[in-house]
Amino acid sequence: MAKNKKPNPKSLARKPRGFPDKREDVLKAELDMIHRVSSVYRLWGFEGIETGAFEYADALGKFLPDQDRPNAGVFAIQDDDEQWMSLRYDLTAPLARFAAEHWDTLPKPFRRYAYGPVWRNEKPGPGRFREFMQCDADTVGAKGPAADAEMIAMMAEALKAAGAQRFNVRVNTRDLMSGLLDSIDARDEETRLIILRALDKLDRLGLSGVADLLGEGREDESGDYTKGAGLDAERVKRVLAFAESGKSSRGETLEALAAVVSGNEAYDRGIAELREIDGLLSAMGAPDGVVVFDPTIVRGLEYYTGPVFEGELLDEILDEKGRAVRIGSVGGGGRYDGLVSRFRNEEIPATGFSLGISRLAAAMSLTGELNALSGPVVVLVLDREHVADSHVLAHQLRAAGIRSEVYMGSSGMRPQMKYADRRGAPAVVIVGEDERQKGTVTIKDLIVGAQKAKAIKDNTEWRESRPGQVEVSRDEMVATIKGMLEADN
RNA sequence: GCCGCCUUAGCUCAGUAGGUUAGAGCGCUAGAUUGUGGAUCUAGAGGUCCCCUGUUCGAACCAGGGAGGCGGUACCA
């Protein structure tokens, strides 16, 4: 069976997974979101900073490439001088580097926003990419809950500005968790981690799943076994009571939390901190019920040192096949007092958050919340020798601020109409011999045309009626199309 | 990383206890309509049946390996 050795050219056109191709709908949605979200940040007094895609690996921190797996988690390459550089995996680490480098000359506290792509080398899924856009805001050099509350309130505003309809921002704080762990006498670091990770999974696994993880362990449906924390029944009960303290209002949650543990210093400090944040949130206009307290919010364990929070969409999201998909959080943040200090011999507190633009756009794309594509007005070309004429018309439309183009292909009228249809063009402009003689143009409103055509059954009527079509003098073209666009929208 | 399922036309999927020319619907192209998209009718184009190796007279179908996709789980700055 002799085969030619030429590889199938089609098999070369492959896209690495997790690196999304974005077409106009998603692309525009993301750009608009970035614009609206960063406008919120600017409104609150934050200034923009952009840093490069690569950082030296040791500046990014924890993920030092080791010899065996230099690309675990991050994408890393070696520079000419053999130093490891990594593509940034978030916008916070570069900020920490920037702030530390310029600390002496910056206004303090330093308030900045940033947006751009970040990269993570991990398994992609729905709403989960290896290259994605984030839009962050952080304050470096401010301690105390006001800076944290500001971040939380601003995140809620930013999510709303980004177009999220139903969402909440759930807030927790580290002291509360370590107080809880102390109160059940979980001293061992590994046990503490297991308990926190178990709490984090409440929304996914439910109470009984979390109970299994707190006790002996849990076997999932694929038969994989996860070792539990090994707590006794009494302690499991206590942790579950803590997990269930999240109520729909902040005040109720604080009350419920206060009843779970008593006489623990860190725990009381956590409650006091949340109480203060509650007051500040109200002062900043963050609505109760949208911004809530939730003791099961965990976030990065080695990273955050105080309040933590995350934003989540509340709508059930279905994929193209109607299956429920778990998109997860669309943003989050918290206080990270150790991150900038790492570069300096002084304490530099910091707090901030990140909004997952790509994930939000992906979620909205699945729920059909993205605006439908709308193409340019297409000016048809019926006789090649009069192309310039079409360009004159397109030029007039553009001068009036109407998005428009001349058909650039070489096909006849019918394919040109099809082209306009596929582009989502609101209208086409037709100038042929007839119109040229009379000094007119024919304008077809494709949206109205489509609506009217639905009523037509008969074939000849189909052919002869020209739904949504008008012939006007050239002078009236711009005004007529403007009128159509206003009526359409 | 681990576990499970899947891979046939651009898309969604049929298919044969291994047997000549591999099918449907949608989409695409063209005509019916000499200057009209979306309806209708007709015709047409489009496939290394994921890849490699093996078993066989013969493999899209069977076996082994690999790749890719999907889901779960672990980790997640």
Nucleotide nearest A325, CA–C1', reads B71
Identify the residues numbered 129 to 158 in chain A whose C-beta atom is closer than 7 Å to any atom of strand B.
Answer: none
Mean of pLDDT values over A371-383? 89
Give yes or no for residue A11 having a pLDDT over 80: no
pLDDT digits (tens, 9 = 90+) for A90-146: 999 999 999 999 999 999 999 999 999 999 988 888 888 999 999 999 999 999 999
Identify the residues numbered 365 to 404 in chain A whose C-beta atom is closer than 7 Å to any atom of strand B.
Answer: 382
Q: Hey, what domains does chain A have and what are their CATH numbers?
A: 19-205+237-366 (3.30.930.10), 377-488 (3.40.50.800)
Distance of CA A129 to the CA centre of its chain: 11
CB A263: neighbour CB atoms within 10 A?
Answer: 7
- The integer distance in angstroms from the CA atom of A15 to the C1' atom of B51 is 17
pLDDT for A15 equals 83
* Cβ A62 to strand B below 7 Å: yes
Q: Which residue is nearest to nucleotide B5 (CA to C1')?
A: A222
Nucleotide nearest A451, CA–C1', reads B38
Which of A300-309, A364-373, A401-410 ranks highest by mean pLDDT? A401-410
Nucleotides of B under 7 A from a protein CB: 1-4, 28-31, 33, 35-40, 48, 50, 52, 59, 68-77
Distance CA A397, CA A374 (A): 16
pLDDT for A8 equals 56
Give yes or no for residue A222 having a pLDDT over 80: no
Mean of pLDDT values over A409-435? 92
Nucleotide nearest A90, CA–C1', reads B77
Give yes or no for residue A19 having a pLDDT over 80: yes
- The integer distance in angstroms from the CA atom of A10 to the C1' atom of B50 is 12
- The integer distance in angstroms from the CA atom of A15 to the C1' atom of B58 is 37
* Cβ A71 to strand B below 7 Å: no
Q: What is the ipTM for the molecules in this complex?
A: 0.86
- The integer distance in angstroms from the CA atom of A183 to the C1' atom of B72 is 34
* Cβ A465 to strand B below 7 Å: no
In one letter, which amino acid is A148?
D
The residue ranges of DSSP E strands in A382-433, in sequence order, are 404-406, 427-430
Long-range contacts, stretch A222-228, CB < 8 angstroms, 24+ apart: A227/A194, A228/A194, A228/A198
* Cβ A301 to strand B below 7 Å: yes
Q: Which residue is nearest to nucleotide B35 (CA to C1')?
A: A413
Query: What single-letter DSSP state applies at residue A66?
Result: P
Query: What single-letter DSSP state applies at residue A125?
Result: B
Distance CA A445, CA A390 (A): 18
- The integer distance in angstroms from the CA atom of A422 to the C1' atom of B46 is 21
Give yes or no for residue A7 having a pLDDT over 80: no
Mean of pLDDT values over A246-269? 95
pLDDT digits (tens, 9 = 90+) for A229-249: 999 999 999 999 999 999 999
Q: Which residues contact A459 (CB under 8 A, 6 or more apart)?
A: none
- Is residue A40 within a helix (H) or strand (E), and if so which, with residue range? helix A24-43
Handedness of CA A42, A20, A377, A483 (dihedral sign): negative
* Cβ A206 to strand B below 7 Å: no
Give yes or no for residue A330 having a pLDDT over 60: yes
Angle at which helices A189-200 and A174-183 cross, to 10°: 120
pLDDT digits (tens, 9 = 90+) for A32-90: 999 999 999 999 999 999 999 999 988 887 654 444 444 568 888 888 998 888 999 99
pLDDT for A488 equals 75
